[in-house]
Amino acid sequence: MQKNNWNFDNTYANLPKHFYTKQNPTSVRSPELVVFNEELAESLGVPYELGVFAGNVIPQGAEPISQAYAGHQFGYFTMLGDGRAIVLGEQVTSSGDRFDIQLKGSGRTPYSRNGDGMAALGPMLREYIISEAMHNLKILTTRSLTVVETGEVVLREMERKGAILTRVASSHIRVGTFEYARLNSIEDVRRLADYTIKRHFPNLAIEKDKYLFLLKEVIKRQASLISQWQLVGFIHGVMNTDNMAISGETIDYGPCAFMDVYNPKTVFSSIDTQGRYSYENQPKIAVWNLARFAETLLPLLHDDENKSISIAQEELDKFQGIYQRYYLSGMRAKLGLFDEDIEDNVLVNELLQLMQQYKADYTNTFRTLTLDITEDSKLFASLHFQYWKDRWRKRHSQQNKSKDEVKALMKNHNPNIIPRNHLVEEALNFAESGDLTKFEKLLFVLRSPYDYTAEQEEYSKFQMPVNCSYQTFCGT
């Protein structure tokens, strides 16, 4: 077996120096490994070195930097940057793929403002669980390589154990990075756009209107990503422009969670008091964020400003149609439909309305339909649902597919399990006290969410919070 080694490149550092600050991680007192993603490490070709993942050792070839960016947070523009994260460099795999290796919680940087640059163990383990769950659900995402305890105390609402997460991403270029570039100069936007095209969209480099095609591709990727979120009931929680990656990966797992009872207005973030980033608003916010991205590109789209605005608006107006095609295609698969019918959208929306009316669990409703069993619930006992189910069965009869083919399609698109909120919290509570048993077991069953094994049964059950609505926090 070939030995894993660091193979760093540092192309982001070729951008103008105000895009980043050279910054080494802060050394920590007594690091201890909590979890190591061996499968991911093998695919990246990186070795296990505790000192590196703790920030105490700089591996050969690395040029650690903290990135500068801006962003609209809850609609308000502000200057930002990596306040507690440092990119060691870009690991280039044997197949030529390039991934940022970032330490999150690795100490103060020039962008920390009033923050301490540290991270607590619980939120870092939460990101590990959710990001790996998203990957196994076949949704584009950053991934987690390690979590290391630092031996330091982090002060939040109480004393917490300090930790560092190693995050792996295709890049950390965000809509907010382009907003930052536009504050400086048009030339900075051009250089960033050229770099982004070379890194993520190399086929666009030869296009005459490559910046327009960049906008088109980013819109397409975000439409695909958000549709996948909606299809599994994932709520990001803080869709600020600095949390939208140009690569189309899900990034920054702070106050995120998966919806249990279907309610389009579901919000998990403790700070989203107005519901800006609710489940139903995610496609709308994606368009809003993409409009901010398009604004940065206006000088590159056409010499005439009015013409540029018209070009950008025409592309933004296409988002809803692109998103709807991805979403409806995914919903057809969840319902076992291989072909298209003009009434499919009505069939989908009526099911969702019934789920909302009867407070049905989102994931388990589709799971029950997939298994073709009768659930003991108000939804499945209702005449409204029986009428809907009869129409759904009739729709199946109109396609030339066997029951086994239908069931296989549904199994491939309806997860048997998701990282249920109560399971995640239980695993984190035990892990923070030093018992990783539940954490490791949860990670194991989340590896294969579409397998429908007996082992997953206990993890598929929905447990309603007893006294309060479930909330998550930014964890900074």
> What is the C-alpha separation between 54 and 28, in angstroms, rounded?
7
Position 376 scores a pLDDT of 82
Position 2 scores a pLDDT of 55
pTM score above 0.75: yes
Residue positions annotated with a catalytic role: 242
Q: 98-104 and 85-92 as β-strands: parallel, antiparallel, unpaired? A: antiparallel
Per-residue three-class SS string for the chain: CCCCCCCEECHHHHCCHHHEEECCCCCCCCCEEEEECHHHHHHHCCCCCHHHHCCCCCCCCCCCEEECCEEEECCEEEECCCCCEEEEEEEECCCCCEEEEEEECECCCCCCCCCCCECEHHHHHHHHHHHHHHHHCCCCECEEEEEEEEEEEEECCCEEEEEEEEEEECCCCEHHHHHHHHHHCHHHHHHHHHHHHHHHCHHHCCCCCHHHHHHHHHHHHHHHHHHHHHHHCEECCCCCHHHCECCCCECCCCCCEECCECCCCCCCECCCCCCCCCHHHHHHHHHHHHHHHHHHHHHHHCCCHHHHHHHHHHHHCCHHHHHHHHHHHHHHHHCCCCCCCCCHHHHHHHHHHHHHHCCCEHHHHHHHHHHCCCCCCHHHHCHHHHHHHHHHHHHHHCCCCCHHHHHHHHHCCCCCCCCCHHHHHHHHHHHHCCCCHHHHHHHHHCCCCCCCCHHHHHHCCCCCCCCCCCCECCCC
Residue whose pair of structure tokens reads 């491939």 in the numeric block: 412
Position 468 scores a pLDDT of 39
Position 216 scores a pLDDT of 98
* Start-to-end Cα distance in the chain: 40
Burial of 473 (0-12, 13-18, 19+ CB in 10 A): middle
What is the total residue count of the chain? 476
Q: Is 339 within 8 Å of 401 (Cβ atoms)?
A: no
Position 476 scores a pLDDT of 44
CA distances from 45 to 19, 66, 204, 211 (A): 28, 24, 29, 33
Q: Which two tokens stand for residue 410?
A: 């549904």
* 397-406, Cβ contacts within 8 angstroms, sequence gap of 24 or more: 398/341, 399/337, 399/338, 399/339, 401/336, 401/338, 405/338, 406/336
> What is the C-alpha separation between 173 and 246, in angstroms, rounded?
6
> What is the C-alpha separation between 242 and 219, in angstroms, rounded?
16
Position 471 scores a pLDDT of 55
**Other Cβ atoms closer than 10 A to 126:** 27
The residue among 178, 137, 168, 158 whose CA lies nearest residue 53 is 168
Position 467 scores a pLDDT of 37
Q: In sequence order, what are the residues at sequence separation of 6 or more whose Cβ sits closer than 8 angstroms to the Cβ of residue 111?
A: 21, 66, 68, 80, 81, 82, 83
Region at 402 (left for phi over 0; alpha for psi -120 to 50; beta for the rest): beta
- Which residues on neighbouring strands pair with residue 148, listed in sequence order? 33, 164
Position 466 scores a pLDDT of 38
Position 375 scores a pLDDT of 81
Q: Which two tokens stand for residue 304?
A: 């005439």
| Cα dihedral 155, 158, 164, 169 sign | negative
The residue among 361, 357, 369 whose CA lies nearest residue 333 is 369
Position 415 scores a pLDDT of 98
The series of mean pLDDT values per 10 residues for the chain, 476 residues long, is 84 97 96 98 97 98 98 96 97 97 97 94 97 98 98 91 98 98 97 98 95 98 98 97 98 94 93 93 98 98 97 98 98 98 97 97 96 89 96 96 97 97 95 96 97 90 55 50
| Cα dihedral 367, 371, 374, 379 sign | positive
Q: In sequence order, what are the residues at sequence separation of 6 or more whose Cβ sits closer than 8 angstroms to the Cβ of residue 90?
A: 8, 9, 10, 11, 12, 98, 99, 100, 101
Position 464 scores a pLDDT of 59
> What is the C-alpha separation between 163 and 390, in angstroms, rounded?
53
